[in-house]
Structure 1
Amino acid sequence: MPGSVARALRPGSRPVTEKPNFLFILIDDLGWMDLGYYGSTFHETPIIDQMAREGARFTDAYSAAPVCSPTRASIMTGKYPARLHLTDFIPGHKRPWAKLTVPKFRRQLPVEEMTIAKALQTTGYVSTTIGKWHLGGRRPTEYGFDQFVFSNQDDNDKRVGRFTGEALRFMERYKDRPFFLFLSHDTVHIPLEANEELIAKYKAKLKPGHVQRNAVYAAMIEALDDSVGRLLKKLDELEIADRTVVIFTSDNGGLIQKYTGSGPVVTSNAPLRSEKGTLYEGGIRVPLIVRWPRVVKPDSVCNVPVSSVDFYPTILDLAGVEGASGHSFDGTSLVPLLKQTGQIERDAIYWHYPHYHHTAPCGAIRQGVFKLIEFYEDGRLELYNLEADIGETNNLADKEPARAAELRKKLSDWRGAVDAQMPTLNPNHDPAKAHEWG
Structure 2
Amino acid sequence: MSATSSSPQYSRSSRSALSRRAFGGAVGAGAAAAAVGLPATAEAQERPFRAAPHRGAKRPNILFILGDDLGWADLSSYGAPHIKTPNLDRLARQGVRFTDAYAGSATCSPTRFSLYTGRFPGRTKGGLAEPIADKSAGLEPTHPTLASLLRDAGYATALIGKWHCGYLPDYSPTRSGWDEFFGNFGGALEYYSKLGLGGEYDLYEGDAEYKDLRYYTRILTERASEYVRRDHGDKPWLLNLNFTTPHWPWIADGDTEESAEIVRRIRAGEQGALWHQDGGSVEKYTEMVQDLDRSVGEVLKALKKSGQEKDTLVFFASDNGGERFSYNWPLSGNKASLQEGGIRVPTIVRWPARLDGGQVSHEPVFTPDWTATLLDVGGARPDPAYKLDGTSLAPYLLKGEELAERELFWRVRGERALRRGQWKYYRGKGGKDQLFNLAADQREQADRAQDEPKRLAALKAAWEKTDKGLLPYPAA
TM score, norm. by length of structure 2: 0.73
In 2, Cα distance between the equivalents of 1:194 and 1:378? Answer: 37
Q: Which runs of 5+ in 2 are unaligned?
A: 1-56, 194-213, 256-279
Q: CA deviation at 1:279?
A: 0.5
Q: CA deviation at 1:18?
A: 3.8
- Kindly indicate whether the alpha-carbon contact (under 8 Å) linking 2:128 and 2:473 is maintained by their aligned counterparts in 1: no
Q: Deviations over 1:96-139 (max 9, x none)?
A: xxxxxxxxx97211222110111111122111101100001111
In 1, Cα distance between the equivalents of 2:282 and 2:439? Answer: 30
Question: Any residues of structure 2 matched to 1:377-416 within 5 Å, and which?
Answer: 379-416=431-468
Q: Identity of counterpart residues, as a percentage? A: 36
Partner of 1:131: 161
Partner of 1:350: 409
Q: Deviations over 1:21-76 (max 9, x none)?
A: 00000111011000010001100101100100000011100011100101000000
Q: CA deviation at 1:250?
A: 0.6
Q: Which runs of 4+ in 1 moved over 4 A?
A: 155-158
Amino acid in structure 1 at the alignment position of 2:437: N
- Kindly indicate whether the alpha-carbon contact (under 8 Å) linking 2:149 and 2:375 is maintained by their aligned counterparts in 1: yes
- Kindly indicate whether the alpha-carbon contact (under 8 Å) linking 1:90 and 1:135 is maintained by their aligned counterparts in 2: no
Partner of 1:84: 124
- Kindly indicate whether the alpha-carbon contact (under 8 Å) linking 2:130 and 2:412 is maintained by their aligned counterparts in 1: no
| 1:180–1:112 CA distance, 2 compared to 1 (3 A) | same
Q: CA deviation at 1:213?
A: 6.9
Question: Any residues of structure 2 matched to 1:290-329 within 5 Å, and which?
Answer: 290-329=349-388
Partner of 1:12: none
Match of 1:67 among 95, 107, 112: 107
Name the stretch that deviates more: 378-387 or 74-83: 378-387
Q: CA deviation at 1:374?
A: 2.3
Partner of 1:164: 221
Partner of 1:368: 421
Q: CA deviation at 1:395?
A: 0.9
- Kindly indicate whether the alpha-carbon contact (under 8 Å) linking 1:349 and 1:365 is maintained by their aligned counterparts in 2: yes
Classify the secondary structure of the residue corresponding to 1:150. Answer: strand
Partner of 1:431: none
Partner of 2:333: 274
Question: Any residues of structure 2 matched to 1:55-204 within 5 Å, and which?
Answer: 55-85=95-125, 86-91=127-132, 107-137=137-167, 138-150=171-183, 154-155=191-192, 159-176=216-233, 177-195=235-253
| 1:106–1:347 CA distance, 2 compared to 1 (3 A) | farther
| 1:43–1:279 CA distance, 2 compared to 1 (3 A) | same
Partner of 1:205: none
In 1, Cα distance between the equivalents of 2:341 and 2:401? Answer: 29
| 1:387–1:110 CA distance, 2 compared to 1 (3 A) | same
| 1:269–1:153 CA distance, 2 compared to 1 (3 A) | closer
Q: CA deviation at 1:92?
A: 5.2
Amino acid in structure 1 at the alignment position of 2:91: M
Classify the secondary structure of the residue corresponding to 1:128. Answer: strand
In 1, Cα distance between the equivalents of 2:281 and 2:329? Answer: 13
Q: Deviations over 1:157-184 (max 9, x none)?
A: 8611100111111122234331100000
In 1, Cα distance between the equivalents of 2:215 and 2:343? Answer: 23
Match of 2:284 among 194, 216, 232: 216
In 1, Cα distance between the equivalents of 2:318 and 2:306? Answer: 27
In 2, Cα distance between the equivalents of 1:252 and 1:158? Answer: 23
Q: Deviations over 1:374-403 (max 9, x none)?
A: 24x664111110010011111111222121
- Kindly indicate whether the alpha-carbon contact (under 8 Å) linking 1:57 and 1:302 is maintained by their aligned counterparts in 2: yes
Aligned residues: 367
The two structures, once aligned, show a CA RMSD in angstroms of 2.3
Considering fraction of residues, name the structure with more helix: 2
In 1, Cα distance between the equivalents of 2:441 and 2:398? Answer: 30
Q: CA deviation at 1:294?
A: 3.0
- Kindly indicate whether the alpha-carbon contact (under 8 Å) linking 2:371 and 2:390 is maintained by their aligned counterparts in 1: yes
Amino acid in structure 1 at the alignment position of 2:216: R
Q: CA deviation at 1:227?
A: 0.9
- Kindly indicate whether the alpha-carbon contact (under 8 Å) linking 2:191 and 2:251 is maintained by their aligned counterparts in 1: no
Q: Which runs of 5+ in 1 are unaligned?
A: 1-16, 94-104, 198-211, 257-265, 355-360, 427-438
Classify the secondary structure of the residue corresponding to 1:242. Answer: coil
- Kindly indicate whether the alpha-carbon contact (under 8 Å) linking 1:67 and 1:88 is maintained by their aligned counterparts in 2: no
Partner of 1:201: none
1:33 equivalent to 2:73? Answer yes
Classify the secondary structure of the residue corresponding to 2:472. Answer: coil
Q: CA deviation at 1:312?
A: 1.3
Q: Deviations over 1:226-268 (max 9, x none)?
A: 1111111111111000110000001100012xxxxxxxxx123
In 2, Cα distance between the equivalents of 1:392 and 1:150? Answer: 38
Q: CA deviation at 1:325?
A: 4.8
Question: Any residues of structure 2 matched to 1:232-243 within 5 Å, and which?
Answer: 232-243=300-311
